[in-house]
Amino acid sequence: MYVPAHFNEERVDVLHAFMREHPFATLVTHGAAGLDANHMPFELDAASGARGVLSAHMARANPMWADVSDGDEVLAIFRAGDAYISPSWYPSKHETHKHVPTWNYMVVHAYGRIRVRDDERFVRSVLARLTRTHEAGQPVPWKMGDAPAGFIDGLLEAIVGIEIEITRLYGKFKLSQNREARDVAGAAAMLDAAGEHAIGAAMLARLRPDTAP
């Protein structure tokens, strides 16, 4: 990924926080059958390994897990919102006319070594942790014990777990950091008015170092 200095984010704690906040990622693999991409939620264990360990699960019917070998390098791409930026939203454009359209976005690329975990206990623990995390905001959180044990056991037989030990992390938060503060504020206001709140808020946060991630 090309990352100009303006948009580079290399603080591991910030990248980990981003991955937790946006856990649904694209997993890119290159196995015996060639390139493949799958989409799944990940759990991050930041305390394991040098840069953290990702865990997930997929359908046993998915050929990806059998196509890769333990130790293969893979790439998990985590992303938040993205938004088109019109040059007309920059106040300075009306003075200099030296602006062009662009696109703002936030992504984290996590490279690592994959390990297939065809292990019922591992898969059960991954499911339980993902469920606790993503049900936490519900009025009455669902838990695995709410379903019949035999039903859950059958589902567990139909899925396979994976682990990825992260070896490299790259963050690109392209939020108009290379523009004047008034241009950033102007574009952020237009995004907010259009309902693109995530990118607009992130742009404004970068103007306030004390609040920026």
Q: What CATH number has the domain bearing residue 33?
A: 2.30.110.10
For the segment 104-116, the average pLDDT, to the nearest whole number, is 98
Residue 94: pLDDT band (50, 70, 90) is confident
Name the average pLDDT for the chain. Answer: 93
Number of domains in the chain: 1
Residue 209: pLDDT band (50, 70, 90) is low
Residue 90 in domain: no
Q: What's the token pair of residue 205?
A: 């946060």
DSSP for 15-50?
Answer: HHHHHHHS-EEEEEEEETTEEEEEEEE-EEETTSTT
Residue 96 in domain: no
Maximum pairwise Cα distance, the chain: 69
Residue 213 in domain: no
For the segment 120-142, the average pLDDT, to the nearest whole number, is 95
Query: Which pLDDT tens digit goes with each residue over 28-60?
Result: 999 999 999 999 999 999 999 999 999 999 999
- Say whether pLDDT at 210 is over 80: no
DSSP three-state, residue 32: coil
For residue 142, give its domain range: 5-81+103-178
Closest CA to 42 of 119, 156, 127, 145: 127
DSSP 199: H
Residue 208 in domain: no
Residue 205 in domain: no
Cα 114–Cα 124–Cα 39 angle in degrees, nearest 5: 45
For the segment 168-196, the average pLDDT, to the nearest whole number, is 94
